[in-house]
Amino acid sequence: MWELLTLLMLSLTYFFWPKLKSRDAKYPNSLPCLPLVGSLPFLPRDGQQHLNFFNLQKKYGPIYSFRLGSKTTVMVGHYQLAKEVLIKKGREFSGRPHMTTLDILSDNQKGVAFADHGAQWQLHRRLVQATFTLFKDGSQRLEKIICQEIRLLCDFLATQDGQSLDLSEPTFLAMTNVISEICFSSSYKRGDPELEIIQRYNDGILHALSQNTIVDIFPGLKVFPNKTLKKMKSCVKIRNDLLNKIFEDYKKSYIGDSTRNMLDLLMQAKMNLDNNNATSNQNSTLLSDEHILGTISDIFGAGVETTVSTIQWLIAYLLHYPQLMKRIQEEIDQNVGFNRTPTISDRHRLLLLEAAVREVLRIRPVAPLLIPHKAIVDSSIGDLAVDKDTNVIINLWALHHDEKEWAQPDQFRPERFLDQTRTHLINPSMSYLPFGAGPRSCLGELLARQEIFLTVAWMLQRFDLDIPDDGQLPCLEGQLKVVFLIKAFKVKVKIRQAWREAQGEGSL
Ligand code: STR
């Protein structure tokens, strides 16, 4: 009996013990590991993930690893190593791991954000990039589309003069419309019931992703009922139904002769592939309806939640530092005045505002742990070996809060991004990658930077933003739901006296 049990234990240990690889290769420091469960018992469960992983650096150094189930994950928390992963060896680390929740969200790695390295990901990434070039200039100029939506947003805020409201709602409408113009050349009117559906499934998806479900660690467990997976599935279904309907309606009127938006580009690419590959069907499957939907839904999801969140964070910090808000308003008054609205070319003039945008992307990065990467070949980071199929997570939070790189990293100080004379923007540290870098870098960086800058510039030109009468300041702690979200808060919106006076005198 005992012999049998010992034999069983030994063979279990053999199968689940981290395999010892090549004898001389040095691997990253590892958290303790037990058979079967790996490092699970040694990983902190409470509190913010990115902070926990940052704290573990004190004990294990800037790069360390842990095992969950049968998967090894390497955590990287220093910019030199992070740049090696993202840029220098970007291709080698451009894979994406399968994760149960993300596989549901991406319909098994379709689309761009969560698709593994390969022909499909590359094609779709290129098509999204091509879409953004459609909006470079002319009547469809990105700036024009953004300003059109911000104008509506500000006109709405003017109707709320003196009231306290949650700005995320009207901002959500504006940003959804910008992305909807880019994807389908269409937009929503305030109050359209579809907006509420989008808002609800976005919240549901983000919530489900924040649950670190056990099935992502032990995928075998997904056969059992699980609340988070159920919620994810239902939200994804609602989203797919909604986007599919837009897609089907669009197809009915599509004649294939225009390229105005992302859906046009995707459908045209599909037709070209179909025509060229009459014999082999290989390539056109990369652009099946499901694949097209995958990419559209990634862009739709990524384009809204991220920007709305950053604008919210920036406004929250400005409420905490009213002096700074005043100075930004003075800068706008001096450089833009009241006879015209701010444009993207004002980024060279509104330095304090631009510095504040950069600082908020540092202190509250949109995705503090980016999206997990995966080594697609045997590789290395620094002088440490990393085997094929190892997951690699970049702790952007650690980079942005590195005390060696940032003086008092927990303080919001836009001046860091300005030179001594405050007349030039500078890059104070290399330890700063708010949009990632390399082959997986953010596709929407340009769009996001324009949206954030313009929205806040327009708002501050026209309104004073204040804490509501109950004196409640926004909480700056945040909650990691893939996107690092701020807790909802209200802002009192007042039309500026100077604006009123300028309006009275005519112009604009
Ligand atoms: C937000 C909620 C939603 O409805 C759909 C998506 C899919 C794309 C996700 C997006 C999410 C959150 C932000 C992500 C984006 C892809 C790239 C972006 C994760 C979950 C970032 O890396 C910040």
Residues in the chain: 508
Please tell me what DSSP assigns to residue 116.
P
Ligand 1 centroid vs 434 CA: distance in angstroms?
15
- What are 89's two structure tokens? 């060896």
- Choose one of 306, 364, 370, 371 to mutate for the ligand 1 pocket test, by most ligand atoms within 8 angstroms of C-beta: 306
The residues, ordered by sequence, that sit 6+ positions from 298 with a Cβ below 8 Å of its Cβ are: 106, 111, 112, 113, 114
- Decide if pLDDT at 11 tops 90: no
- Decide if pLDDT at 480 tops 80: yes
- Segment 32-37 long-range contacts (CB within 8 Å, at least 24 positions apart): 33/66, 33/67, 36/12, 37/69
pLDDT digits 0-9 by tens, 49-76: 899 999 999 999 999 999 988 889 999 9
Ligand 1 centroid vs 144 CA: distance in angstroms?
25
> 482 CB less than 6 Å from ligand 1?
yes
> Distance from first CA to last CA of the chain, Å, rounded?
90
Buried b (16+ CB within 10 A) or exposed e, 285-306: ebbeeebbbbbbbbbbbbbbbb
CA distance 206 to 307: 15
pLDDT digits 0-9 by tens, 432-465: 999 999 999 999 999 999 999 999 999 999 999 9
pLDDT at position 8: 55
Please tell me what DSSP assigns to residue 298.
H
3-state secondary structure of 483: strand
- Decide if pLDDT at 278 tops 70: no
Helix (H) or strand (E) holding 158: helix 142-159
Q: What is the value of pTM for the model shown?
A: 0.93
Mean pLDDT of 132-151: 93
> 371 CB less than 6 Å from ligand 1?
yes
> 301 CB less than 6 Å from ligand 1?
yes
Ligand 1 centroid vs 165 CA: distance in angstroms?
26
pLDDT digits 0-9 by tens, 399-422: 999 999 999 999 999 999 999 999
Residue 370 alpha carbon, nearest atom of ligand 1: 22
Ligand 1 centroid vs 105 CA: distance in angstroms?
10
pLDDT at position 503: 86
pLDDT at position 223: 66
Q: How confident is the model at residue 22 (pLDDT cuts 50, 70, 90)?
A: low
Residue 304 alpha carbon, nearest atom of ligand 1: 1
Q: How confident is the model at residue 157 (pLDDT cuts 50, 70, 90)?
A: very high
pLDDT at position 227: 84
In DSSP terms, which residues pair with 94 in a beta bridge? 374
- Choose one of 200, 305, 440 to mutate for the ligand 1 pocket test, by most ligand atoms within 8 angstroms of C-beta: 305
Ligand 1 centroid vs 500 CA: distance in angstroms?
39
pLDDT at position 483: 93
Quick one: which of 390, 395, 392 has its CA closest to 70?
Answer: 390
HEC string for 334-389: HHCCCCCCCCHHHHHCCHHHHHHHHHHHHHCCCCCCCCCEECCCCEEECCEEECCC
> 305 CB less than 6 Å from ligand 1?
yes
